[in-house]
Amino acid sequence: MAGQHESEPTYRAQDFVADGSLRDVCVLDTALDDWQHMFDGLRKLPGRHVLTWTLADTTETGIPEASAVWSKLQDDPEESASLAIEIGGIWFTSYFFEIEEIEFTFDPSDVVDQKTFTPVRDFLKWLGNSTGREVVVTMEGNDHASMPALLRWAP
């Protein structure tokens, strides 16, 4: 397997070169239950989070139900949502592109050394522990399953 797959994700400078693209943090081949586990994990999040509904122009800081979020998105094709999670000053954002993949993006320019990598490590571990699934970090893209992983972490 490409990428790191260690007991503890570690910082490598080449994974965070500020090249104008974001990095994607993904759990692949997901279903509604995986999303619910991720939402349930917000109760143990070492940071803060906010869910924003674009069309409705509302924000929520509570713990949503995955089925309610996905139903609202399916019932109103004009509506979109984002879940932004902040850990240690780095924001990880999901735009709910598809139910089959939990995907968050973050700006690699926020990571310049081992110390600033800590929030990324904490986020990977939180997401993996919440879902009980492997988490991969890739370059920004659409087909994460076929992209080389920069980092891999599984609980």
In this prediction the pTM is 0.92
Quick: pLDDT tens for 23-77: 999 999 999 999 999 999 999 998 899 999 998 899 999 999 999 999 999 999 8
Distance, CA of 145 to CA of 53 (rounded, Å): 28
Enclosing H/E stretch for 82: strand 81-87
Enclosing H/E stretch for 48: strand 48-53
